[in-house]
Structure 1
Amino acid sequence: MRYEKIDSQLFISNRERLKKLLKPNSLVIVHSNDVMPSNADGTLGFHQNNDIFYLTGIDQEESILVLFPDFPDEKFREILFVRETSEHIKIWEGEKLSKKQATEVSGIQKIVWTNNFETILRKLIFEAEQVYLNLNEHDGADWQFESRERRFISTFKKQFPLHQVERLAPLMFKLRVIKQPIEIALIKKAIEITGKGFVRMARYLKPNIAEFELEAELSHEFLRNRSRGHAFSPILASGESACVLHYVTNNLNCKDGDVILMDFGAEYGNYNADITRCLPVNGKFTQRQKQVYEAVLRVMKAARSMLIVGNNMEKLRKDVGKIMEFELIELGLLNADEVDKQSDDAPLYKKYFPHGISHHLGLDVHDVGSRYETFKAGMILTCEPGIYIPEEKLGIRLENDILITENGNEDLMANIPIEILDVERLMS
């Protein structure tokens, strides 16, 4: 991997905390992701299942984690299965992890080649009272896709129909939503790289530059800083394209007088950053652009102050909606009388601010965590208000990543320019 070695204590601690949540006499099985095919003999590459990475640090395909904390023979209480290297694999793909390397990464002592999984499973399975199996339970997931985990669940239920199957995902959600100090450090590293990318783009931006040229500058900066690349498909949307929330074609030229909305983030060690900034293509905001930008910035600062222990996403959304209403009225986009008469189920501000104000961030950009859960110290959430005015060909969104602490919160992107004077100074 490109990233620096992660302290195995993180993964050891994660497994220990998971074990405390299990029912007595439980078996846990977690699979890696597939290498995704493209066409012919091509592949789209490999991105590890975040749950097995969280528990082991292993970033390799065909890996399986088995936990059985109450198994009589302590040698079988933690087992990591990894793919064995052959001469053919060495020539075509390079070396895979040795057993010693897998132990160094994960802290697991018993390493077994993956082709022995079924044999060992039969040794363990009949001692278990229930088996925890994993599945991507994110509410935005593609349920049509049959992952390695889904295939295993189908096979397992056919082979062992009388065993009680439990859902691992709720336990993983509970663990992953609170970031450990090492995780916070990794996210800060992703943010540091992201900030470097922003500065590079800001200094490169000028009229008639293509959006994809900015993306290239961003990619260069990420890769040279040990990132695998983009945390998600970057949005580099100039002019009216900024009003398309998930614009990723990035194929237009940036016009003099327009503002470009840039939503992007670097990945580092499988952890992610997520930032949005808006820049005037020619280096100077117009008066109207400043008005809208400052309105969004005020909403952002107000929303950020609400990302505290004890609040929750639903209350945050409603409170930010009221603040946004005021700003939109001041901008002449909403009528105060009509706002007073609006339906609570269809607030008028949604016309100009149609998306959510925040989401969890971590191993996934839209990380695990319930929108109904009370905020706790250790959570990292985005703060991302926006105002989109298609008729003015103007879209402004600003986004920072916020760590909730016992005594308020910490803006992890506070050192990345966001005030108008700082942005214009950077571009000059």
Structure 2
Amino acid sequence: MPFADQLLTFSLAFLAYQLGRDSLEFTFSSRPQQKMSPSDSDLPKGKYPAKKHALKIKKNFLSKKGEEQTESTLFVAGGEIEPIKYCDQTKEFRQNRYFFYLTGVNIPGSAAFFDFKSEKLTLFLPDVDSDDVMWSGLPLSVEAAYEKFDVDEVLYAKKLPSFLSKFESSCIYTTDLDNVHDPNVAEMLVPSDPDLFYALDESRLTKDEYEIGLLRRAAKITDNCHLSVMSALPIEKNEGHFHAEFTYHAIRQGSKHQGYDPICCSGPNCSTLHYVKNDESLENKQSVLMDAGAEWENYTADVTRCFPLNGKFTKEHREIYDTVLKMQTEVMDRIKPGVEWEKLHILAHRVLIRSFLNLGIFKSGYSEEEILDRKASLCFFPHGLGHLLGMDTHDVGGRANYEDSNPLLKFLRLRRPLEENMVVTNEPGVYFNPFLIEEFLIKYPKRKEVVNEEIMEKYMYVGGVRIEDDVLVTADGCENLTGITSDPEEIERIVCDGINKGRSHFHVIA
């Protein structure tokens, strides 16, 4: 067939497949089958609660500094557009998270000032550049900023030096001087005070109703994107196609940014925890692991799903999947305020050990307690159970201790009791990675002794399984914000439906 005809045939086939893909029904755990399309009615109402956040920061700051600091003030410069070196292009803009928390403003070159005494919040917009207006149009006006943002006063940046001079007698705290370009302004500021960072992080630790609304929207978009990846296998021939499919559907739903670079891996690559290549062929692979989260107004989801490439789990893949699902489910049942995250992490290890004893990967002559004491499970589950989630994928306030002498706890990013309105990820995993085996098993004879290496070898092709959901801690338990199913039989049906639909479209075109 001539190349032009081949191209036309493929284009028509893709179009037909696309039409089928866009009409997919979305399936969610414990919910009826439904079409899922985020709408503005789902979004929180009103303005981003900047003043509420400023007062929360003040309260946490004074709890450390004492009431004598009531006349202190806070200044934070927002992010700026950064040029790419030796090029007239710029890097993707991502707003300073502390600045956004204080203002809800996503405009590059802005700044904010909060007076603890008067509790007045002032926003400084970048000065209008007439040359830039010619190319990019008018920026947001002062009047429009009053309408859009929850602030008491809006000024242009040129007024900043004279404005700050009125507060020279008080301490003007700031995070850093990175985007403070006027030396006279810099001299007035007190940067990098640890109590300020404590106050900022503690304030962001728990989410208010508005923030939870943004996280819900990010979660819904992410659900749809993961479902689309599972359903599009006829046109996915390498890992990069998973990445493209997820991003395509995120942008279509209004999410132009992801919270982090997606992890799209297949087969043994699924054992690499932070896989970054995303470009290998799917040929001769059985398993897929997709870790990706869409972002909405700087708040991000973080979700991982695994599925079989041909629509049917192999025996070994299903056994490991069921192990991880059991780990996650037992943790989920116990998430509530006051629970120590470390205890849930150890519980996940215990569930893994029990499963591996049943599968024969751990030798039956050893008890659950002995295997845990030897830390043999670390080889297969080396990372923490999960982390805080918000504007950052690994959000602030977790009090991690990377110097911990206990390797089972060393990489936990959350080391404090759960609180109501925390949002955390619940993401246990099991991996068969030669580098992990060498580092955490072979070098430790007491750990190696409990493993049946012949049986373990049968699972190496699976690579790894991780199941990750975003979870809101409620007053008496938790709410799973992630809707895309993790039920293995539902996943098989979704993948098979996508394969069959794709085949029928290609058959019709042919």
Fold equivalence (TM over 0.5): yes
**Residue 132 of structure 1 pairs with residue 159 of structure 2:** no
**Residue 225 of structure 1 pairs with residue 253 of structure 2:** yes
**Residue 212 of structure 1 pairs with residue 212 of structure 2:** no
2:81 to 35, 39, 57: 35
Distance 1:162 1:307, change over 3 A: closer
Of 315-324 and 376-385, more deviation after overlay is shown by: 315-324
- TM-score, length-normalised on structure 1? 0.87
- The whole-number CA distance in structure 1 between the counterparts of 2:133 and 2:186 is 35
Assess if the C-alpha contact under 8 Å between 1:258 and 1:281 holds in 2.
yes
Assess if the C-alpha contact under 8 Å between 2:48 and 2:210 holds in 1.
no
Deviation per residue, 1:177-210 (Å, 9 max, x gap): 1111111111111111111111111111249711
- The whole-number CA distance in structure 2 between the counterparts of 1:221 and 1:161 is 44
**Residue 386 of structure 1 pairs with residue 397 of structure 2:** no
Shift of 1:338: 8.2
User: Which residue of structure 2 lines up, in the alignment, with residue 410 of structure 1?
Assistant: 479
Of 205-214 and 93-102, more deviation after overlay is shown by: 205-214
Secondary structure at the aligned position of 1:34 is classed as coil
User: Which residue of structure 1 lines up, in the alignment, with residue 494 of structure 2?
Assistant: 426
Deviation per residue, 1:95-138 (Å, 9 max, x gap): 32211222222222321111222221112122x1x333225xxx
Secondary structure at the aligned position of 2:148 is classed as helix
User: Which residue of structure 2 lines up, in the alignment, with residue 140 of structure 1?
Assistant: none
**Residue 26 of structure 1 pairs with residue 95 of structure 2:** no
Assess if the C-alpha contact under 8 Å between 2:259 and 2:295 holds in 1.
yes
Q: Which has the higher contact order (CA 8 A, sep 6+)?
A: 2
Identical-residue share of aligned pairs (%): 28
CA RMSD, Structure 1 to Structure 2 (Å):
2.6
User: Which residue of structure 2 lines up, in the alignment, with residue 291 of structure 1?
Assistant: 319
Q: Which one-letter code corresponds to 2:478 in the other structure? A: N
Q: Which one-letter code corresponds to 1:49 in the other structure? A: N
- The whole-number CA distance in structure 2 between the counterparts of 1:281 and 1:166 is 49
Map 1:109-124 to 2 at 5 A. 109-124=152-167
Assess if the C-alpha contact under 8 Å between 2:471 and 2:479 holds in 1.
yes
User: Which residue of structure 1 lines up, in the alignment, with residue 17 of structure 2?
Assistant: none
Q: Is the helix fraction higher in 1 or 2?
A: 2
Shift of 1:53: 1.0
Secondary structure at the aligned position of 2:91 is classed as strand
**Structure 2: which 5+ runs fail to align?**
1-39, 63-68, 399-413, 434-456, 497-510
Map 1:128-277 to 2 at 5 A. 128=170, 130-134=171-175, 149-150=177-178, 152=180, 159-160=187-188, 167-206=195-234, 209-277=237-305
User: Which residue of structure 1 lines up, in the alignment, with residue 419 of structure 2?
Assistant: 376
Assess if the C-alpha contact under 8 Å between 1:296 and 1:397 holds in 2.
yes
User: Which residue of structure 2 lines up, in the alignment, with residue 94 of structure 1?
Assistant: 137
Q: Is the strand fraction higher in 1 or 2?
A: 1
Q: Which one-letter code corresponds to 2:486 in the other structure? A: I
Secondary structure at the aligned position of 1:232 is classed as coil
Q: Which one-letter code corresponds to 2:83 in the other structure? A: P
Assess if the C-alpha contact under 8 Å between 2:350 and 2:372 holds in 1.
no
Deviation per residue, 1:193-252 (Å, 9 max, x gap): 111111111111249711111211111110111112211100110011111111122101
Secondary structure at the aligned position of 1:29 is classed as strand
User: Which residue of structure 2 lines up, in the alignment, with residue 144 of structure 1?
Assistant: none
**Residue 60 of structure 1 pairs with residue 99 of structure 2:** no
1:335 to 347, 354, 363: 363
Assess if the C-alpha contact under 8 Å between 2:50 and 2:104 holds in 1.
yes
User: Which residue of structure 2 lines up, in the alignment, with residue 141 of structure 1?
Assistant: none
- TM-score, length-normalised on structure 2? 0.74
**Structure 1: which 5+ runs fail to align?**
136-148
Distance 1:64 1:253, change over 3 A: same
- The whole-number CA distance in structure 2 between the counterparts of 1:45 and 1:112 is 26
Structure whose alpha-carbon radius of gyration is higher: 2
- The whole-number CA distance in structure 1 between the counterparts of 2:369 and 2:190 is 59
- The whole-number CA distance in structure 2 between the counterparts of 1:231 and 1:241 is 22
- The whole-number CA distance in structure 2 between the counterparts of 1:153 and 1:360 is 33
Distance 1:247 1:271, change over 3 A: same
Secondary structure at the aligned position of 1:321 is classed as helix
1:319 to 347, 350, 353: 347
- The whole-number CA distance in structure 2 between the counterparts of 1:343 and 1:154 is 57
Q: Which one-letter code corresponds to 2:88 in the other structure? A: D
